[in-house]
Structure 1
Amino acid sequence: MVAMHTIFTIFFCIISFTSRVSALLESCYKLQLPSPVLGPEALAFDRNSEGPYTGVSDGRVLKWKGSSLGFVDFAITSQNRSKELCDGSSDPALENNCGRSLGLGFYNRTGELSIADAYFGLLVVGSNGGVATQLATSAEGVPFRFLNSLDVDQGTGIVYFTDASARFQRSGDMTGRLMKYNPMTKQVTVLLRGLAFAAGTAVSKDGAFVVVTEAIASRIVRFWLQGPKANTSEVFAQLLVQPDNIKSNARGDFWVAANTGKEECRKEALPSSLDREEKVTLADADCGT
């Protein structure tokens, strides 16, 4: 069970890398969400390093404006969203009207924010926010059921995103997919099928591959985009926990938020299962990272 503080607040940790990740924590602080909003999901910073931006339970994408203003409205994904009905809601029955943004990623060249919404598909909104524009709701004739995360390749603008299930709304199974959206052609391409609850995804620093977490299989899979292994996949890391979101940093390391099913906070550096230098760092969901 996820600790309550991870539901109501967002935690940030400033990390300096040394030999053991568990000893790296220098400072943490929390950003309080406006009450009664719940469930912060996905984090993104814009090209000016402003933010973070996060999607919350009532369908809004919020932006942090500093301690004096806190979080303010930035974007919504539902064209017919009722502010009176939705604002502050944590009722899952209202999500198909209010929206539920689970994946966020900026393309720094344009300042646009791509959004993966569990009900309204893949969308994009300009740097000034507002009502997002819908880009895609299906791939190969199969509707999106549970878009869960995304990442934007800063070199190409291509958006990589996951659908946790091709069959069930807001539930994951063994039919998850990893896909890409090309803004030049406006086409969606399925890269991987049959994923075990496709959750997080992240592009490598050099754009050579993309990784996707499988919550049910407790592993991270790598899909090669370039090089002699292009268009093939392999296990990147096998875990003992259920991974969710994954992010890469400026060093090319990957940070994974995972559910260990335990109450204690744990951070652990996981070596790559392959012969590259990427580092995979695991953070328990209860750590709030």
Structure 2
Amino acid sequence: MSALRIVPVPSHGTEDVLVGPDGTVFTGTADGNLYAVDPAEGSARLIGTTGGRPLGIELLDERRLLVCDAHHGLLAVDIATGELETLVDAVDGMPLVFCNNAAVASNGDIWFSDSSTKFGIEHWRKDFIQNTRTGRLIRRTAAGEVEIVLDDLAFSNGVALSADESYVAVAETTTRTVVRLWLTGPKAGRREFLCHDLPGYPDNIARGTDGLIWVSLPSTVDTVGERVLRMPQAVRALVSAVPPALQPKVKRVVRVMAFDDDGRCVHDLTADATGFHMVTGVREHHGQVWLGSLEEPAVAVISLAAD
């Protein structure tokens, strides 16, 4: 097990984490707030609020964050002033239901996921159990044009670009896979697995400074849930109607994995989940692996050097 250092923030639900060039750690919380965390002092500064539920966070440019807000879509947020700009809130005339995670290309294109066209974040379990396969990977070009690149995804979640931007990867939470779409080279346009049969359900993914694709696993494989997913759709719909309090509880784990461009697992890190769990965000930055959580009022960090 790896040693875990926990850094509190003023609100709970630090779903994703981003590390800026100067080491500042950015996160968003369930109350809509966005924070900049000083990793040395452990202090958190309020940047602003989206008025919704911020999930994936990326650097859009030197002064703005790109925020996937589950309620309001794809947003740009000025780090200094907190000023908001809506970049995408609808696709093909239909409002985004569950904007989740993103990656920004060097040419300014934004690749982002919409996890479901049927259920919002408050009912994510229903989409998971029913396996609606309405998740999408969407591209917004630097010129502002929006197109659906992949659809029929099983709860599309984390998004990452390879270091050379030859492919874009997107996690499918329900099927425990990370798929990739080749963008350049002889495989351009081909869709295939980067990794599959993961030991848990992938959430956010991100490319680290090490060039690897890091994958957060907030929960290990649930045998009951896997059986339910193999049942007829009508049965799954009935199961999804059971109140969350009566559904199987997510196991307390801290686990993240990292894969190279060949799909080889380079790191598989675990830590004590007593004081921190439900890891939905991961970001490697020069040997420090920062973690976010859908549940916790904190971010956490693992040092690869000490692993």
TM-score range, shorter chain: 0.7 to 0.9
Does residue 1:75 correspond to 2:45, yes or no?
A: no
Residue of structure 1 aligned with 2:66, choices 66, 90, 114: 114
Question: Partner of 1:28 in structure 2?
Answer: 4
Residue of structure 1 aligned with 2:192, choices 199, 215, 234: 234
Residue of structure 2 aligned with 1:136, choices 56, 80, 88: 88
Kept after mapping to 2: 8 A contact 1:253/1:278 = no
Question: Partner of 1:246 in structure 2?
Answer: 205
Residue of structure 1 aligned with 2:262, choices 249, 273, 276: 276
Residue of structure 2 aligned with 1:43, choices 17, 30, 36: 17
5+ long unaligned stretches in structure 2: 221-249, 280-290, 292-307
For the aligned residue pairs, the C-alpha RMSD in angstroms reads: 2.4
Post-superposition offset of 1:46: 2.5
Kept after mapping to 1: 8 A contact 2:216/2:257 = no
In the alignment of these two chains, the number of paired residues is 236
CA distance 1:282–1:176, change in 2 (3 Å): farther
Kept after mapping to 1: 8 A contact 2:56/2:67 = yes
Residue of structure 1 aligned with 2:113, choices 159, 162, 167: 162
Query: Which residue identity is paired with 1:138?
Result: A
Kept after mapping to 1: 8 A contact 2:56/2:100 = yes
Post-superposition offset of 1:269: 6.1
User: In structure 1, what is the Cα distance between the partners aligned to 2:57 and 2:257?
Assistant: 25
Deviations 1:136-167 (A, max 9, x none): 111222321001111112x2121111111012
Question: Partner of 1:105 in structure 2?
Answer: 58
Post-superposition offset of 1:278: 5.9
* Percent sequence identity over aligned pairs: 30
User: In structure 2, what is the Cα distance between the partners aligned to 1:192 and 1:175?
Assistant: 10
Question: Partner of 1:187 in structure 2?
Answer: 145
Comparing 278-287 and 161-170, the one that deviates more? 278-287
CA distance 1:268–1:75, change in 2 (3 Å): closer
Residue of structure 2 aligned with 1:218, choices 176, 189, 194: 176
User: In structure 2, what is the Cα distance between the partners aligned to 1:65 and 1:268?
Assistant: 25
CA distance 1:226–1:53, change in 2 (3 Å): same
Query: Which residue identity is paired with 2:195?
Result: A
Residue of structure 1 aligned with 2:34, choices 43, 48, 61: 61
Kept after mapping to 2: 8 A contact 1:256/1:281 = no
Query: Which residue identity is paired with 1:144?
Result: L
Kept after mapping to 1: 8 A contact 2:47/2:82 = yes
Does residue 1:174 correspond to 2:125, yes or no?
A: no
- TM-score normalized by the length of structure 1: 0.74
Kept after mapping to 1: 8 A contact 2:16/2:28 = yes
Greater relative CO, 1 or 2 (CA 8 Å, sep 6+): 2
User: In structure 2, what is the Cα distance between the partners aligned to 1:187 and 1:33?
Assistant: 36
SS at match of 2:80: coil
Kept after mapping to 2: 8 A contact 1:180/1:189 = yes
User: In structure 2, what is the Cα distance between the partners aligned to 1:60 and 1:218?
Assistant: 30
CA distance 1:222–1:31, change in 2 (3 Å): same
User: In structure 2, what is the Cα distance between the partners aligned to 1:280 and 1:180?
Assistant: 29
SS at match of 1:242: coil
Kept after mapping to 1: 8 A contact 2:117/2:135 = yes
User: In structure 2, what is the Cα distance between the partners aligned to 1:162 and 1:32?
Assistant: 28
Moved over 2 A (4+): 65-69, 261-270, 275-289
